[in-house]
Amino acid sequence: MVATPAGQASLMGKVLGPYQIETLIGRGAMGSVYLAKDTDLGRKVALKVLLGSLARNPDQIARFQQEARSAAPLQHPNIVAIYDTGIRQGVPFIAMEYVEGEPLDRFLRRNGCIDWRNALHIARQVAKALDCAHQAGIVHRDVKPANILIDKNGHVRLTDFGIAKAYENQTGHTDHGQLLGTPKYMSPEQCQEGAKISPASDLYSLGVTLFEMISGKLPFEASSNVALIKRITNDEAPRLNKVMRGIPDDVARVTAHLMERNASARPESASVVVLAFSRLLQENGGKSALPEALDAFIREMAEPRPLGNAATPLPAKRRTHHGQKHQRAYHYAPISGMARTAAAILIVCAAAGGAYWQHLKPLGPQPAAPVLEPVEFSSLEGGAIQVPLPHEQWRVNSIHWIGARNAVVVSVAGRDGGMLHGTQGLLAIDLDTRRVISLQAPAGPMIMADYAQYQPMSASLGLLPPLPAKTPLYESIVCPVFDRGGRREGGSIRLVPQAWNEAVPRAQVLLECGIDAWDPKLLNPWAKLGPGAAAIHPEGNALLALLREDGSNSSLLQEFGVGGWRATVRNTWRFPGESIAPQSVQYTPDGTHALFMKILRNGDTELCAVNTQSGAEAPRPVHSGPLDPAYAVHPSGDHVAVMNRKQRQATIQFAGLESTMIAGGAVEGDFGPEAWHPSGDYLVARMVDTETGLDQLYSVGMGGTEAPERLTHFETGVLWHASVSRDGAWAATAVETRSGAAVVFSPLQAVGPRS
């Protein structure tokens, strides 16, 4: 049962057999529920008891104990477990599993109607519980939000089998003709004298509950129970997408199927409903990242509870059943493994007032990020290693090597037009231990109904250079944290580090700025400038941030020292009325210069360099033209490879930082910022194989006079440019497989020096 303080009661402090009663946590139709300690087994239990005249009524006692007889044989993770039943000191009781959380009806009263995907995720778990009960020959007969519990981990439990019975020859009435159930959620046959009750009756009630979760209202309402029962019996339920805009036809159809007046027209079993919900949620063999992400959504929507050093959740708008605007919290959470680890601590997107990020130090070691299981590391021809993404509808956004490790951070996003469209997530793939680690959960419109207006911030991924181990950014990504209650009007953004294998960011503010300065589109979807970005200095003691000048359309580059708890400004460069391409900011390998791509008024781009050791110097142009914002800095730091997209052909040009052209060559392909082999003799580019028409990886010599050499022979080609490891042993890219995208590591040991 759930923790719902409800005042004092006469049994508090008393002992019933082995149960030491501690406090009253709820009241039901037939009794009260206490939190108690089982002194024999040393565990908490929810103790449901009958009091007063009910405890002396044999019929009431028999009905009360029916709950234990019905539910005790049902062992299922979505059903509250029954431990014991009996009568002690004249008090009938049932000892059951204590679920720390709240019932769905109170969850809906606080949070209002919820996105249909979240509602399906909850209903799917209830359907699993019903499938278990129905296979045991038990019909619940009172499925409703008040009997659906959501625990603090976001998991759903069905409880209160008080009127459940074996469904052979059962009706919806007692011997006295009294209705059993809650009229608002009852099926038509439960409303009729002598009608047969079957598992289909529970499915109808589940449909009503699903309808209410999504729309915020019941399908049938009336001024009295008599009028309500008449409507349920005689009227067709309204279609969900007629009541609520934006609901997919399939969701409205499956809800209507559950609420068919004729029981025989409903789904044939709860297991069929589970499969239907799974299809709508687009799970991949039951191992999708989506259920865990929805668990995270449900968990953070539950009432706040102390979770170690977690911060106060971020408020955002939502709508209640009655249409008023209230506040709702969002955060990131691990993609998978939360049900298997006690360290599933929330990655919080905001800290109201900023107390956690500004003042608190981590309490002990940071929790490890969960490992996705099972993920198969397949060996391919030529020594390549293939690692599939956890969901078939994800694509790769970027791949970056983590310092000198044989591990990469992969930014993933939902495919356009798919069920996961608009979602983003972060994975880490460790070649040494053959693990795929979840860093940030998929977040997007499919999980959050108002994500477009109040989206959580994805990591500003850039190069993760090898850094000294004692620096605060060692083997870390930079995470923007959104704080609506920050120091500036409209909130603020704080950049904090998160280690590549830890579940939560560290409590260190690298820098703080206004929301409008970091990502204008959060407040104004039509803003001209893109989101901010940050580059890590090779020594790990500074951060170069791309911002927007307050109150203008001007770009701002600021370098911050990150040695202490608060960032200190080192250098500032302003670009009045000009834009800089997001993610184009990076340091040279020795940290003496910073590079970036300026977007010119004619649509071209200009590669610029600035001396970070002399902040007074103005940025200098290196090369301009129809250049792609992606470029690669030579390991020596003296040269830069840029791509010229003129006439649909990518031309690799090597330009010195003094804007001197060194050499050039035409290449049908592209490359990313980690394209150079550490030897400096060649870079790895994605080019079209003229024999097959597929993209493959090629090595391109620095001189630009030799023909490129093909490095890969993947049957489906490559989807992404290559990122070369710091030791030059691997080139990481993405490929398409029958089950979706995968990251592939291609060995480079066999590639010799190029001139």
Question: Could you list the active site residues?
Answer: 142
Instruction: Tell me the residue ranges of DSSP E strands in 532-592.
Output: 533-536, 542-548, 555-561, 568-575, 579-580, 586-587
User: What DSSP string runs through 437-488?
Assistant: EEEEEEESTTT-TTTTTSPPPPP----B----TTSTTTTEEEEEEEETTSSS
Distance of alpha carbon 186 from alpha carbon 164, whole angstroms = 13
Q: In this structure, are residues 143 and 209 in contact, taking their beta carbons and an 8 Å threshold?
A: yes
Q: Write the burial class of residue 748 (CB in 10 Å: 0-12 exposed, 13-18 middle, 19+ buried).
A: buried
Q: Write the burial class of residue 350 (CB in 10 Å: 0-12 exposed, 13-18 middle, 19+ buried).
A: buried
The secondary structure element, H or E, covering residue 229 is: helix 225-234
Token couple for 32: 């009260």
* Distances 471 to 468, 474, 727 between C-alpha atoms, Å: 6, 5, 21
Distance of alpha carbon 264 from alpha carbon 187, whole angstroms = 12
Other CB atoms within 10 A of residue 287 CB:
14
User: Which residues 6+ apart lie within 8 Å of 411 measured at CB?
Assistant: 396, 397, 398, 399, 424, 425, 426, 458, 459, 461
Distance of alpha carbon 320 from alpha carbon 327, whole angstroms = 10
Token couple for 46: 């929810």
Q: Which residue in this structure is represented by tokens 């020096």?
A: 753
Distance of alpha carbon 266 from alpha carbon 203, whole angstroms = 8
* Distances 633 to 148, 180, 590, 628, 712 between C-alpha atoms, Å: 57, 74, 11, 14, 23
Q: In this structure, are residues 598 and 582 in contact, taking their beta carbons and an 8 Å threshold?
A: no
Residues facing 701 on adjacent strands = 682
User: Which residues 6+ apart lie within 8 Å of 668 measured at CB?
Assistant: 649, 650, 687, 688
Distance of alpha carbon 51 from alpha carbon 93, whole angstroms = 10
Q: In this structure, are residues 359 and 388 in contact, taking their beta carbons and an 8 Å threshold?
A: no
Other CB atoms within 10 A of residue 574 CB:
12
Smallest Cα–Cα separation from 34: which of 44, 517, 42?
44
Which residue type does 142 have?
D
* Distances 511 to 191, 342, 493, 532 between C-alpha atoms, Å: 63, 31, 8, 12
Residues facing 513 on adjacent strands = 493
Q: In this structure, are residues 202 and 165 in contact, taking their beta carbons and an 8 Å threshold?
A: no
The secondary structure element, H or E, covering residue 537 is: none
Distance of alpha carbon 136 from alpha carbon 79, whole angstroms = 13
Q: Write the burial class of residue 44 (CB in 10 Å: 0-12 exposed, 13-18 middle, 19+ buried).
A: middle
User: What DSSP string runs through 359-378?
Assistant: HPPPSSSPPBPPEESS---E
Q: How many CA atoms does the CB half-sphere of 12 hold within 13 Å?
A: 10
Q: Which residue in this structure is represented by tokens 């795929």?
A: 436
Distance of alpha carbon 202 from alpha carbon 225, whole angstroms = 19
Q: In this structure, are residues 231 and 219 in contact, taking their beta carbons and an 8 Å threshold?
A: no
